[in-house]
């Protein structure tokens, strides 16, 4: 009994002394655990935000998240190179090299015909002698599903007639005449074609000599990169 009484008295002294009560220690531990928990949640949210921002930046930079964009571009370039090679092979095989040339730019593969092949100077009616050339081009285009843009171009000399008040009307009419031949004589759907007249705004040479002017007077048949739907 004496020992038990001493323990009771010692415990009372501790509780009433300067030390913290037991419930206070337990409460402090709980608060500490809650604080650690929220710190962990905050850290995880920051990591996720950084990952998200990184993914968004990657999409903006590459178009679709990195490698696929560059891979698609490389595949497109290969397809365009192959198409240009096939077109040049066709031109050579059908003895068309003196009538048209082929090149490639950001629009697609481009067939270039000089004015003298298709039209009289200042006119927009397709010459009869040009029809066999356009027929051979039509045979080629029927093997390719892409949309086609036909562009008329002139040199910088001014024209002012009742039919063509300016080079805008002349270049547009020439592009339309070529498309009309394809749709009326070669059984093409009009939906495949786009017509454009650029007058003298897109010269290939500087218009400072007759030879340069001759090169600027042309029709370009653009096999566009995108295909018909």
**How many Å apart are CA 207 and CA 226, to the nearest integer?**
32
pLDDT for 229 equals 47
222 pLDDT band (50/70/90 cuts)? very high
* Residues above pLDDT 70, as percent of the chain: 72
pLDDT for 3 equals 46
> Higher model confidence: residue 58 or residue 113?
113
> Higher model confidence: residue 209 or residue 226?
209
Tokens 């300067």 correspond to 18
- Asked whether residue 43 carries a pLDDT value surpassing 80, the answer given is no
- Asked whether residue 63 carries a pLDDT value surpassing 60, the answer given is no
**How many Å apart are CA 141 and CA 188, to the nearest integer?**
9
**How many Å apart are CA 36 and CA 69, to the nearest integer?**
43
* Contact assessment for residue 188 and residue 182, using Cβ atoms and an 8 Å cutoff: yes
pLDDT for 30 equals 73
- Asked whether residue 91 carries a pLDDT value surpassing 90, the answer given is yes
> Higher model confidence: residue 7 or residue 222?
222
**What residues contact residue 121 under an 8 Å CB cut-off, 6+ apart?**
115
pLDDT for 75 equals 87
* Contact assessment for residue 56 and residue 65, using Cβ atoms and an 8 Å cutoff: no
**Short-list 133, 130, 122, 152, CA closest to 220:** 152
- Of 1-5, 10-14, 25-29, 191-195, minimum mean pLDDT range: 1-5
Phi-psi group of 183: left, alpha or beta (phi > 0 → left; psi -120 to 50 → alpha; rest → beta): alpha
Q: Where are the beta strands (DSSP E) in 115-153?
A: 146-153
């Amino acid at each position: 009994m004496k020992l038990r009484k001493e323990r009771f008295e010692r415990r009372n002294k501790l509780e009433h002394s300067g030390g913290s009560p037991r419930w206070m220690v337990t409460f402090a531990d709980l608060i500490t655990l809650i604080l650690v928990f929220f710190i962990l949640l905050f850290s995880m949210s920051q990591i996720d935000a950084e990952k998200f921002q990184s993914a968004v930046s990657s999409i903006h930079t590459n178009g679709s998240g990195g490698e696929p964009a560059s891979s698609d571009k490389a595949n497109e370039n290969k397809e365009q190179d192959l198409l240009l090679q096939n077109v040049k092979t066709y031109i050579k095989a059908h003895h068309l090299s003196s009538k048209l040339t082929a090149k490639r730019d950001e629009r697609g593969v481009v067939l270039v015909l000089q004015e003298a092949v298709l039209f009289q100077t200042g006119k927009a009616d397709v010459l009869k002698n040009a029809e066999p050339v356009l027929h051979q081009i039509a045979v080629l285009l029927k093997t390719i599903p892409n949309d086609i843009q036909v562009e008329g171009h002139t040199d910088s000399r001014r024209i002012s007639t009742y039919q063509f008040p300016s080079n805008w009307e002349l270049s547009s009419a020439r592009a339309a005449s070529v498309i009309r031949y394809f749709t009326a004589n070669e059984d093409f759907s009009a939906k495949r074609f786009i017509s454009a007249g650029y007058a003298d705004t897109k010269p290939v040479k500087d218009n400072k000599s007759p030879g340069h002017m001759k090169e600027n007077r042309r029709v370009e048949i653009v096999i566009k990169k995108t295909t018909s739907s």
